[in-house]
Amino acid sequence: MAAFTVVLACLSGCQQYLAVKPDKSMATPTTLKDLQRLLNNIDAMNDGFPALGEETGDDVLLTLANWNSLNEIERNNYIFNNVETAAGRWSQKYVAVACSNIILEGLKDLDEPSGALYNREHMEGGALFFRAHAYFQLVQVFAEHYDESTAGTNPGIVLRSRSAIDEPLIRATVAESYAAIIADLQRACSLLPTAVATPNLPSRAAAYSLLSRTYLTMAQYGPAGLYADSALMLHNVLLDFNLLDTNANMPFPRFYGETIHDSRMTTVIASTGRAVVNPELLAGYDHDDLRRKLFFLRNPDGNHRFKGAFDGINGGTVFNGISTGELYLTRAECLARAGFNDEALTMMNELLRHRWVSGRYEPATRGNTPDVLAFVLRERRKELVYRGLRWMDLRRLAKEGLITGSITRTLGETVHGLPAVRIPHVAYKIPVLAIQEGGYIQN
Amino acid sequence: MKHFFQYLIVAACTLAPFKTIAQQQAFRVRGTVTDSRTGRPVDGANLRIKGNDASFLTDTAGRFDFPCPQTSAVLVISHMGYASREVVLALPLAQPSGISLAPDPYQLEEVTISTGYQTVPKERATGSFERVGERLFNRAVTTGVLERLDGVTTGTWFDRRSYDHNARGQAQLTIRGVSTLRSAHADPLIILDNFPYEGDPALINPNDVESVTLLKDAAAASIWGARAGNGVIVITSKKGSFNRPAQIRFNSAVTVAGKPDLMVISNAGTSDFIDVEQFLFAQGYYNATINSRFMLPLSPVTDLLLQVRSGVMDSLAAQQQIDQWRHRDVRKDFLDHTYRNAFNQQYAGNISGGSAKYTYMLSGGYDRNLESLVSNRFNRTTLRTHHRLKITDRLEAEAALRYAHENSTRPLPGGAVGYGMLSVRGRTLYPYAALIDGEGNHLAIPRDYRTSYTDTAGGGLLLDWAFRPLDEMHQNTQDRQQEVRADLNLSYRLFPFLTAGVSYMHQLDAGESRQHYPESGYYARDLVNQYTQVVGGRAVRILPVGGMLRQSHNRADGYGLRGQLQANQRWQDRHHVVALVGMEARQHRTWNNQHAPRYGYDDQTLTYIHNIDFNTRHPIYDGLKANTAISNAGSLSQLTNRFVSLYGNASYTFDERYVVSGSFRRDASNVFGVRQNEKWSPLWSSGLSWLLSSEPWYAFGAMPLVKLRATYGYSGNVDPSVAAQTILTHVSGHPTTGLPFASAWTGPNPNLRWEKVRTINFGVDLASRGSRISGSVEYYLKHTHDLLATAPLDPTIGFGLTAIRNAARTRGRGVDLQLNTRNLAGPVLWSSHLLASYHKTTVRDYYLPAPNSLIYVGSGMGVNPIVGQVISPIYSYAWHGLDPVNGDPIGMLAGEASKDYYNIHANTPLEELVFHGSATPLYFGALRNEFQYRNVALSVNVSWFFDYYFRRPSLNYSAFYDSWRSHGEFSQRWQQPGDEQRTNVPSMPYPANGSRDAVYQHASINVLRGDHIRLQDVRLGYRLRQVEIHGFASNLGILWRRNGEKLDPRTLGQPGPPRSLSLGFTLNIQ
């Protein structure tokens, strides 16, 4: 009977008995520590950006043999015939959006104050940054290019404000998508710290940089230039490429000093063992330009491949983060567009001095560089190779008429072309699974 | 039947076994018990003086002799298989008493069944219980417990479609169909002596098992509440009996099984394979691989062709070399060197007995299995004791202690040498590989890098970089697991009709998994080389030369505490109530500690190097990979499951004819979450039975037993891994940043509910006069609500592509039939036992948006809910033959022939797909014939599986090119116009088109009927006094199959469990 009483006693303490956590490592987010650790998850937050744009741009080419070795989805994408998109290209960044939302919801629910280790503001800023970065990259491939006249009606991406799986969702317009990105980033700028331990964590400079990139894409060159300048005030390190080993397989170490924010896109077509660098791009580098050897490697067949990712990783993932060089170029472009050509050239000379063999670089002047904007854009392409940025540039420059003709793919006898006027209107198919389960408008 | 019984219980033949039990010297009761029909002595009959506790057994000559203090007594004689008798004796006896017993086969059915909470005589049960007694259970020779139920129970199907010839073969067992849409959680609940068993079922020694009872309907299973939805298997261990002299039993068996039949696997011929490789090389298919800076491996043929292309080798010489390889088949090397005949040894013994107040059972067992793959072994040691003590008239105590130790090995991850496990960087092994040369030297194959590269890299400064599979074959993962379980039961009779009981169970598990990568092994050498830099003609090693050790330790503990009141009251001789009510608390905790790897490990001295720089991202030799830090990651986990339950069960019997029963249970658990605990309504069941044949008006003498049963009730199914809240998983350090991080792997899903299963069961039990024919038929309906399914999820949600959600309602229907006949009695006894089952589960409702039809075509392995359809259907694309012009497959789209492969694959609407039927057999069962002549017994079991379909393996060109997975039908492919008349195998395209492959592979022509009949097993036994010698053969092959391609549908045309033969003996000493 005594034991029986024990059972009864045990049951009366039932509530407490059953409150124990089933899995210690599985936890509902209940502390700031939990939230910070979500922010630290670089696989979700910093990796897996879709490289569809890079794969469609004019820097990456395939030989017929290498094209033939791809599956048909990739083969079709390469020849501008996007029939279907693999689910991961869409879903991977929505994982980052979901994690960001969990952090933002968690911060609302938790009363725990900031401490020495976990800072609520940094975390909120970080979550907003990651969400904005995911949205920004998605809107570059799954929606048409930003155009003031159509942005209010063209479908953009799906914006998620909560993490629950039963939230009804629709595609926002392009204008709403960009507005959400800008709102997140502007708030993030005021929250993020100026210094972070490693550049996978968002910093204030990273938020300014991404704002600059967003405005540049929208062709709002005023704010684009200003935010680039703000970012440069916090991080303007340019390292001398003469200090790097041009023969190395991977010349840039992970978290290279010029990296403001570290992230990667996933690609099959543009993976470094397969893709061939457009010879036209290659021809643009001067003999004394160190980037020619630091960025590219000659294949046995005479073609060149890319090796210059800023994170020391080559293969199916390619660095698409933010570096000081991008800010110099954006700032210079915005200055040139505003008519401040000398200031633009000063920026350019400062950048290129670090890229050429010591003492060989002859500064550009108004005298030897009549069209400063064209010069800046040319250099922009050469510096920001394989960063996913070429696609964004192609879209806005094609819209402005600064790029004409077609992007062409030659496969044996067949030539496929994407006319420049079509470039701003390319929007990739949203994966079938999302359309089917979410009921979104397909592109 | 009685002879079978004799054959089973080998009672003793000593003449004076009873002296110890005599309490008081008085008159002698002596005599002989014989069979009234044959006149033969009855061995092991139980004799008892009415009103006295002590009981006695007859010897093999049917004799008995024991003392009795009274002058007149009523002697009660009973024996299973005979009608009990009472004989009035006047003592002293003038002469030894001759007592004859009449056979009563219905008595054989009179067994008690255990639910884990109580034991119930079968005749009083209303629900669906199926008991496998000791004799039937021990018919098969196996290492594990569950395998012994294969072919001897109704409604159970052992799914071997995922059988892997390199692993310890465990089949997925389903009882009366799946009640869940997630195959990973379809396992029935196992109860081991009163409490759920949470350990590894391989740790239970079948020789300790007295009986197994399957609880199949709600009335039987709902007492187990929220975990009973998949059915419950109650394992009852052996116990000693009161008033039984010491009995020793020893048995041993050796089993030999063949090597896996690798030749069943269909591959393109080696010569064809080489031709394809040459073609691909010419097309530049391998250029990206060749150009890769990572020195990706090339096959020997490609390597030679590359040497020819770069002018290093003469093309004629290369062709000659290549042509020599055309006749090889690497499977022969595997069969000769990495597989052996499996050899299993089993030894078990026990001693049991008891006095009037005390029983005991001590048992031990040892199993030693050398499995077919040379790296795989399994050893098990078990010890068990069980004691019962009647402390007072009212208080009884029972204590059991069980210890089990398992020591097994399996291949190292990545170091495995089974056929199909070796890969060349994601590709299967090329068929012309050689593992050994004529002189017996172990040969290398490319694995991670190109052979020409590893042969020369480092100019002698690196460690040998070659991978020789046969050098690696004795490296393995060692798993050790120990388990101790103690059970304690106390029962106290408060009143004659009321008993209070407390049961307590405590279980401890400790285990270790140890992966030793020796210094000489490829894994360790490769790792050291990766972290080597050659600087100025010297090798700088970041990682020391040596082995590597990965270890993990796990620990588990669990307890269960139960308090129960049990009432049992008869009155007026017509009313009988049995009721119990109880409460139970259970906890099960597991800890796992995956240690960080130890580098530079030396197994001889148990030393390792600890001052290694784990923080720097070191360069990898020659830039073969991105700079990577040396992994120092380990992980810890702790899981706790707690359940609190309240349950009750009652039955009322009127006049031994009518039984009404009912049960309820309410569970709460820490895995449910508070809201679920609040919402969880009690699970209940009720049942009725009517012994029609006992009605006074019943006059059908040919059928003396007719019993009707009906039950209705609910059980549930919970999955501790599914939660309604956001769940984060924490990881100690990211390899890149070193920072601890977390991932969110399920999103908040506040609407999650647990699965509920409603079962209605109707049963009829019948026996003809003299039990020539006996058996039962059950018809059941099994409705499940809120089935959890891994359903496609909008990837925009951000928690992956699928999520576990309440997705469907299903309706299962089925019939279980058991029929036993005695066909011959006389010198040759022949009986037949038919077990036939029909089961079909149909989806009634699907809550989520209908998925794209492309997920329905395929193997039918998954469960794909379509409203109104069987739960695991097989669908195909319609087939329209091959294009006579170029051999392209032609499918159908919108009712017309089409080669729009992408749209056929992705967008064929469900209505246009071809529906074949169920991927699981709807009709299955077994027929067991048993013969006995004198001391020889033969039992032959034939099983069948009808009305289902499977998809045959076929050729996929994308898989052929990308991963070298081919199919023998490659040689029958379309090659020239006219071939479409003789073949359905599409022509070889370049480049390959995955949708084209899918349209062919998933075409209706590649679905075959699965119907087949197999010779399940054969047992031959010979009994000589206390020794029984037996042979048992299983997996004997297929007697008939519907498909004309000689494919075994059980394993989808892949190699299945090889034939095995056991020889053994059982020795009983009393």
Q: HEC states along B115-164?
A: CCCCEEEHHHCCCCEEEECHHHHCCCCCCCCHHHHCCCCCCEEEECCCCC
Q: Say how far residue A216 (Cα) sits from the centre of its chain.
A: 14
Q: What percent of chain B has pLDDT above 70?
A: 92
pLDDT beyond 60 at B1058: yes
Confidence of residue B20 (pLDDT cuts 50, 70, 90): very low
ipTM over 0.90: no
CB-based contact B264:B1053 (threshold 8 Å): yes
Strands (E), A262-342: 264-266, 276-277, 296-298, 304-306, 317-319, 322-323
How much is the average pLDDT of A299-305? 85
- DSSP letter at B299 equals -
Contact B906 A84 (CB under 8 A): yes
| Whether A246 contacts chain B with CB within 8 A | no
**Contacts B728 to A, Cβ<8 Å:** 26-29, 34, 37-38
Residue partners of B1023: CB distance under 8 A and separation at least 6: B7, B10, B935, B936, B937, B1029
- DSSP letter at A149 equals T
pLDDT beyond 80 at A312: no
The two structure tokens encoding residue B605? 């001295």
Residue partners of A422: CB distance under 8 A and separation at least 6: none
pLDDT beyond 50 at B2: no
pLDDT of amino acid B109:
42
Contact B563 A4 (CB under 8 A): yes
The tokens 């979901």 sit on which residue? Answer: A98
pLDDT digits (tens, 9 = 90+) for B25-66: 567 888 888 877 667 777 777 787 777 766 777 776 778 888
pLDDT of amino acid B15:
32
Residue in B562, B646, B748 nearest the CB of A165? B748
| Whether A315 contacts chain B with CB within 8 A | yes
The two structure tokens encoding residue B315? 């093309």
Confidence of residue B771 (pLDDT cuts 50, 70, 90): confident
Contact B798 A96 (CB under 8 A): yes
CB-based contact B116:B505 (threshold 8 Å): no
Which range, of A376-385, B154-163, B969-978, averages the lowest pLDDT?
B154-163
Among candidate residues B108, B215, B265, the one with its CA nearest the CA of residue B774: B108
Residue in A66, A160, A254 nearest the CB of B617? A254
Local structure of B301: helix, strand or coil: helix
Distance CA B37, CA B527 (A): 78
pLDDT beyond 80 at A221: yes
- DSSP letter at B597 equals P
Residue in A41, A87, A300 nearest the CB of B291? A300
Which range, of A48-52, A288-292, B270-274, B693-697, averages the lowest pLDDT?
B693-697
Contact B287 A17 (CB under 8 A): no
Higher pLDDT, B799 or A233: A233
Beta bridge partners of B831: B822, B930
Higher pLDDT, B787 or A264: A264
Among candidate residues B513, B699, B530, B514, the one with its CA nearest the CA of residue B617: B530
Residue partners of A48: CB distance under 8 A and separation at least 6: A88, A92, A93, A95, A96, A264, A265, A266
| Residue of A1, A4, A77, A162 for testing the chain B interface, max B β-carbons within 10 Å | A4
CB-based contact A35:B257 (threshold 8 Å): no
Residue in B626, B641, B993 nearest the CB of A22? B641
Distance CA B481, CA B842 (A): 41
CA Rg value for chain A: 24
Confidence of residue B5 (pLDDT cuts 50, 70, 90): very low
Among candidate residues A258, A243, A352, A274, the one with its CA nearest the CA of residue A310: A258
**Contacts A4 to B, Cβ<8 Å:** 500, 502, 563
Beta bridge partners of B635: B594
| Residue of B504, B533, B669, B728 for testing the chain A interface, max A β-carbons within 10 Å | B728
Contact B668 A97 (CB under 8 A): no
Half-sphere exposure of B59 (CA within 13 A, CB side): 16
How much is the average pLDDT of B936-943? 96
Higher pLDDT, B320 or B179: B320
Residue partners of B956: CB distance under 8 A and separation at least 6: B965, B967, B997, B1000, B1001
**Contacts A167 to B, Cβ<8 Å:** 797
pLDDT of amino acid B678:
58
**What single-letter amino acid sits at A264?**
R
pLDDT beyond 50 at A433: yes
Q: How many CB atoms lie within 10 A of CB A168?
A: 6
Q: How many CB atoms lie within 10 A of CB A400?
A: 10
CB-based contact B866:B843 (threshold 8 Å): yes
Among candidate residues B129, B235, B142, B229, the one with its CA nearest the CA of residue B187: B229
pLDDT beyond 80 at A271: no
**Contacts B741 to A, Cβ<8 Å:** 37-38, 40-42
Local structure of B815: helix, strand or coil: strand
Residue in B294, B639, B742 nearest the CB of A22? B639
Half-sphere exposure of B489 (CA within 13 A, CB side): 20
The two structure tokens encoding residue B785? 């609500």
pLDDT digits (tens, 9 = 90+) for B454-467: 888 888 899 999 99
Distance CA B79, CA B58 (A): 10
The alpha carbon torsion through B567, B570, B576, B577 (nearest 10 deg) reads -20
CA Rg value for chain B: 33
How much is the average pLDDT of B570-583? 89
CB-based contact A70:A269 (threshold 8 Å): yes
Measure the CA angle with vertex B214, ends B243 and B1052; round to 5°. Answer: 135
pLDDT of amino acid B106:
43
Among candidate residues B721, B709, B813, B726, the one with its CA nearest the CA of residue B763: B709
Higher pLDDT, A268 or A177: A177
Helices (DSSP H) in B550-686: which residue ranges? 674-679
Higher pLDDT, B666 or B101: B666
Helices (DSSP H) in B312-450: which residue ranges? 315-325, 330-337
Distance CA A363, CA A384 (A): 20
| CA-based end-to-end distance of chain A | 72
How much is the average pLDDT of B475-492? 94
How much is the average pLDDT of B340-355? 95
* pTM of the predicted structure, to 2 decimals: 0.84
Mean pLDDT for all residues in chain B: 87
pLDDT of amino acid B101:
77
Contact B798 A98 (CB under 8 A): yes
Pairing between β-strand B896-898 and β-strand B914-918 as defined by DSSP bridges: unpaired
CA dist B546 → B445, B474, B530, B613 (Å): 22, 18, 14, 16
Distance CA A214, CA B1028 (A): 85
pLDDT of amino acid B680:
60
Distance CA B1032, CA B582 (A): 44
Largest Cα–Cα distance of chain B, in whole Å?
Answer: 112
Strands (E), B412-461: 423-424, 427-428
Contact A25 B668 (CB under 8 A): no
The tokens 């590269």 sit on which residue? Answer: B453
Mean pLDDT for all residues in chain A: 90
pLDDT of amino acid B9:
35
Which range, of A166-180, B90-104, B125-139, averages the lowest pLDDT?
B90-104
Q: How many CB atoms lie within 10 A of CB A59?
A: 25
pLDDT digits (tens, 9 = 90+) for A396-429: 999 999 999 999 999 989 999 999 999 999 999 9
pLDDT beyond 60 at B13: no
B92 prior amide bond cis, ω within 30: yes
* Range among A192-196, A271-275, B416-420, B787-791 rated most confident: A192-196
Measure the CA angle with vertex B313, ends B307 and B316; round to 5°. Answer: 115
Convert B847-895 into a string of H (helix), E (strand) and C (coil).
CCCCCCHHHCECCCCCCCCCCCCECCEEEEECEEEECCCCCCEEEEECC
| Whether A21 contacts chain B with CB within 8 A | yes
Contact B796 A90 (CB under 8 A): yes
Distance CA B792, CA B789 (A): 9
CA distance A7 to chain B (A): 7
pLDDT of amino acid B721:
62
How much is the average pLDDT of B114-118? 80
pLDDT of amino acid B694:
85
Q: How many CB atoms lie within 10 A of CB B252?
A: 15
pLDDT digits (tens, 9 = 90+) for A38-54: 999 999 999 999 999 99
Residue partners of A407: CB distance under 8 A and separation at least 6: A56, A57, A58, A80, A394, A417, A418, A420, A423
How much is the average pLDDT of B934-956? 95
pLDDT of amino acid B619:
84
pLDDT digits (tens, 9 = 90+) for B841-879: 999 988 877 777 777 887 777 667 788 888 888 999 999
Q: How many CB atoms lie within 10 A of CB B574?
A: 11
Q: Say how far residue B794 (Cα) sits from the centre of its chain.
A: 34
For chains A and B, CB pairs below 8 A equal: 268
**Contacts A200 to B, Cβ<8 Å:** 736-737
CB-based contact B608:B600 (threshold 8 Å): yes
Output b/e per residue, B972-1000; b: 16+ Cβ within 10 A.
ebbeeeebbeebbbbbbbebbbbbbbbbb
Local structure of B109: helix, strand or coil: helix
| CA-based end-to-end distance of chain B | 23
Convert B317-354 into a string of H (helix), E (strand) and C (coil).
HHHHHHHHHCCCCHHHHHHHHCECCEEEEEEEEEEEEE
pLDDT digits (tens, 9 = 90+) for B200-239: 888 999 999 999 999 988 888 878 877 787 889 999 999 9
Which residue in chain B has the smallest CA separation from A41?
B741
| Whether A43 contacts chain B with CB within 8 A | yes
**Contacts B623 to A, Cβ<8 Å:** 248-250
pLDDT of amino acid B623:
80
How much is the average pLDDT of B498-507? 94
Helix (H) or strand (E) holding A134: helix A120-142
The two structure tokens encoding residue B735? 């390899």
Local structure of A207: helix, strand or coil: helix
Residue in A8, A25, A94 nearest the CB of B730? A25
pLDDT beyond 50 at B113: yes
Residue in A37, A44, A71 nearest the CB of B740? A37
The tokens 């997975």 sit on which residue? Answer: B965
pLDDT beyond 60 at B679: no
The two structure tokens encoding residue A95? 């994982």
